[in-house]
Structure 1
């Protein structure tokens, strides 16, 4: 058979990861802070994009839905055409059921009261401008500033002061210095003895315990400042690992004290501060804004809605595009740039709209699955996995996983990450309903918190107690959960509870 070349026309389908598709996937797993930064960058690059502030519209752009989840599991989608009216009606009639003692009117009058105060006689300066209370707020002193104010009163040699400032810059937020002194001496071109001499003087500064290189040294510095670093206390500080294991019998032998003296020494240790620099921490804690808000509905269901504060407000200025396109020159490069900007802007708004809808679908399904938890507490948290939610909303598991990453839901039970509601299943006794791992951990924690010194539960006792409650679980699983919650063994708990009981009796 002769071989010959020929041409064939064939149609095939394939999934191509375009830059726009990759962008949509990335938007799903972004937090609202990351999303705002990304949008700010896009607005800076694209002249057709605009940020629509809260004062410009009562609700975000088209596509951000308000969904209500009822007992029947069906959701009602409110269209963009009547979103503002429905939201206004809900706000006018629903707050008295949520906040019975709401102080909203008084809070609303705060700006007016502030303006009245500023207009009072004596509240104006010579320039005629009103004082601002923010101008009189004292700044927070950092740990390094606090120590820097004390160094000139402790050290007088300019070289020692320079070494002290260098060591101060090496402190962590807790007031510890973890750098090797040999490396510090080499960097400064001084001997180790000179560095240690300066360090010894710095360890006398306030707060007691700063410039320590370990926990034992930090506690020793504080005990020395109280004149309580005797030989018995030195032995205790040198064997903190035994204290962590609650091995009180060995500690009594090493310290040469009886049980009553050891209890007094432990009480002194508890009064010390293991992180002396934490009180000067200047970093501002960031509050978490929930992406989804769940509230109880009057009919017994749950109202699920997206948090408007975390939703971006991005618009495409079509009028600006038309005016610029008509006034632009006939060069192909100008029209190509405008067309590309319009395409990217339209794709971004559609991606944000799809992101909001996807978050809403996933959150609504989680609320439907965990209805008992919202109503009755953590003991009723159901086992749930990504596949169950993905099948219910007809999406892929990877999409659900991206949506639940770094997203939070505010419920009547508190603020939870969406991933909190996904727990493994623990089998029930005699084929009953399965229990979630989180609810089992909660029961273990509750049982251990109710223990007394003479009735400490072993892991086997916890297994039997859970089995009596209808939960089938292995002993090694109980031990794994207990260790994950940083709960010591029954032997260590018994020692600690007996010691604490004698302290209370004394």
Structure 2
């Protein structure tokens, strides 16, 4: 075979991850709070982007018009929001490569969000800063470290001891415990072990009581000393906390030298103590969950699914400003910069609208699939996976996975993450429909909560009852679900319930 150079034509398909495509994928999986921060950054960098002013809501006399398909989930009514979304899907190309391509044409403007009385915070707020941000005037929650440092400055006058105390405070974890050995701390600071122990003893007198302890026993002992209840019997009780966990009351009575009534009082006093005193202080501000989609019942018995307008950033592209700058500028560099800004702005608005439509489409299908949960409760949660949703709405599984990440659905039964509705399937014992794993967990919890102290259910008994109810499940699966619900074994439950019954 001769080796000769030749020209050949080859046709192939490939997916190129352009920066715009990566941006669209990133926006799809961001939470609402992260999306607001991302759009704020783009508004600062791109001179062609502007916040979209939301018009005041118009009063309506009649009932609210549903925003997605009603009834039997058929075609949307003309003029409804779902009809607008359907037209946008036709007029506007899909920016996600995993889904079916559509004809890319010019996009219709997104529906304006309806602001509340205080709309100055976030992207949907007033662009001029007229809206007041009430959160800016709320005092920060004091952390445990700040609280201890203020007490250290008053209680320890010696500068060297304050340095040792500051280092010890830095080592205290959020629960209030000092996990590092004092010998290691003394070697690191080059200080005598006696000085470190003396400073730690001072810190252990600070509020909250029990802070700076090196073990659970020491934490509880510090609190009992503060209450003047650390007697020899209580000390013996703390020395045998493993027997307390096992509810071995006979051994505890023998070791503590008390009768049954005194032991019951000691255990009750132990339960009133705080095993994690540091948790009374916040280490950081906890952000509330902001739902992305809401679902509410319709008059005809179906469900109305709507996007939360306040969670959707609204931006516009200032085309007139772009045209004015391009006409007056003479530098090629400036023209190139403005052209890139225009492309970035157009793609951002397109990605935001596509993200909103995709979230609404996925949430609507989840609501359709989990209608039993919304109507009757968690016991009627159906088995569901990404493929079932992807096949129903004509999208790729990876797109559905990105949509359900960090997104929340507000229902009449509470606020749930979209991933909550995806549960494994457990086979039916009678050959019927499969059961959701979450529904089975709910049934196990209900069985255990209904048991009496004289009839505590073992895992084998739970397996039998579930099998009689049509659920084919193994004993090890029941044990795994019970442990995930933080429910102790039948032996521990029997001891706890019998001890509580005797105490009452």
Could you say which TM-score interval applies, normalised by the shorter chain? 0.7 to 0.9
Question: Structure 2 vs 1, CA of residues 254 and 347 (structure 1 numbering), >3 Å: closer, same or farther?
Answer: same
Equivalent-residue separation in structure 2 for 1:408 and 1:454 (angstroms):
42
1:271-295 Cα deviation digits (max 9, x unpaired): 1111223223363321111000111
Partner of 1:481 in structure 2?
481
| Distance (whole Å) between structure 1 residues aligned to residue 20 and residue 111 of structure 2 | 30
The answer to whether residue 88 in structure 2 is matched with residue 79 in structure 1 is no
Q: Which 10-residue stretch deviates more, 450-459 or 162-171?
A: 162-171
Secondary structure of residue in 2 paired with 1:431? coil
Aligned pairs (5 A) from 1:282-293: 283-293=284-294
Matches of 1:351 and 1:283, distance apart in 2: 32
Tell me if structure 1 keeps the 8 A contact 2:110–2:353. no
Residue 345 and residue 496 in structure 1: after superposition, are their counterparts in 2 closer, same or farther (change >3 A)? same
Task: Show the 5 A alignment for 1:179-198.
Answer: 179-198=180-199
1:118 matched to which residue of 2?
none
Q: Please report how far the alpha carbon of residue 134 of structure 1 lies from its aligned counterpart in structure 2 after TM superposition.
A: 10
Preserved contact between residue 67 and residue 75 of structure 1 (Cα < 8 Å): no
1:67/1:360 contact within 8 Å kept:
no
Distance 1:84 1:311 in 2: 10
Judged with a 3 Å threshold, the aligned counterparts in structure 2 of structure 1 residues 36 and 327 are, in CA distance, closer, same or farther, namely same
1:368-379 equivalent positions in 2, closer than 5 A: 368-379=368-379
1:221 aligns with 2:230: no
Distance (Å, rounded) in 2 between the aligned partners of 1:84 and 1:74? 23
For the pair 1:429 / 2:434, whether they are aligned, the reply is no
Gap change, CA 1:149 and 1:348, over 3 Å in 2: closer
User: Which residue in the other structure is 2:419 paired with?
Assistant: 419
Question: Matched residues in 2 for 1:447 and 1:136: separation?
Answer: 48
- Tell me the residue number matched to 1:130: none
Relative distance call for 1:249 and 1:235 in structure 2 (3 A) is same
Aligned position for 1:38: 38
Deviations 1:25-79 (A, max 9, x none): 1111111121122222222222212222446999xxxxxx984242312252242
Alignment-derived partner of residue 404 in structure 2: 404
The structure-2 alpha-carbon separation of the partners of 1:75 and 1:423, relative to structure 1 and needing over 3 Å to count, comes to farther
Q: Which residue of 2 aligns with 1:129?
A: none
Aligned-partner Cα distance in 1 for 2:32–2:497? 46
Root-mean-square deviation over aligned CA pairs:
3.0
Shift in Å at residue 2 of structure 1? 4.8
User: Using the alignment, how far apart are the partners of 1:317 and 1:35 within structure 2?
Assistant: 21
Q: Secondary structure at the match of 1:79?
A: helix
Shift of 1:179: 2.9
What pairs with 1:445-464 in structure 2 (closer than 5 Å)?
A: 445-464=445-464
Separation in 2, partners of 1:399, 1:478: 33
Q: In the TM superposition, what is the alpha-carbon distance from 1:264 to its structure 2 partner?
A: 1.9
Q: How does 1:304-453 map to 2 (within 5 A)?
A: 304-329=305-330, 331-453=331-453
For structure 2, list consecutive stretches of 5 or more residues without a partner in the other structure.
Answer: 59-64, 77-81, 86-107, 119-133
Q: Which residue of 2 aligns with 1:14?
A: 14
* CA–CA separation in structure 1 for the residues paired with 2:366 and 2:211: 48
Q: Deviations over 1:159-192 (max 9, x none)?
A: 3344334333433333222233223323433201
Q: TM-score, normalised to structure 2's length?
A: 0.83
2:277 alignment partner in structure 1: 276
Q: Is the 8 A contact 1:246 1:492 kept in 2?
A: yes
Shift of 1:144: 4.3
CA 197–31 in structure 1, closer or farther in 2 if over 3 Å, else same: same
Deviations 1:63-115 (A, max 9, x none): xx984242312252242889869x99xx9xxxxxxxxxxxx9xx99xxxxxxx
Aligned length: 456
How far apart are residue 135 of structure 1 and its match? 12
CA distance in 2, matches of 1:179, 1:374: 49
Change (3 A) 1:473 1:69: farther
Q: Show structure 1 runs of 5+ residues with no match.
A: 59-64, 92-103, 109-132
> Is 2:228 the partner of 1:205?
no
Give the structure-1-normalised TM-score: 0.83
CA distance in 2, matches of 1:20, 1:249: 70
Asked whether the 8 Å contact 1:248–1:495 carries over to 2, the reply is: no
Tell me by how many angstroms 1:197 deviates. Answer: 1.3
Change (3 A) 1:153 1:313: closer
CA contact under 8 A between 2:220 and 2:273: conserved in structure 1? yes
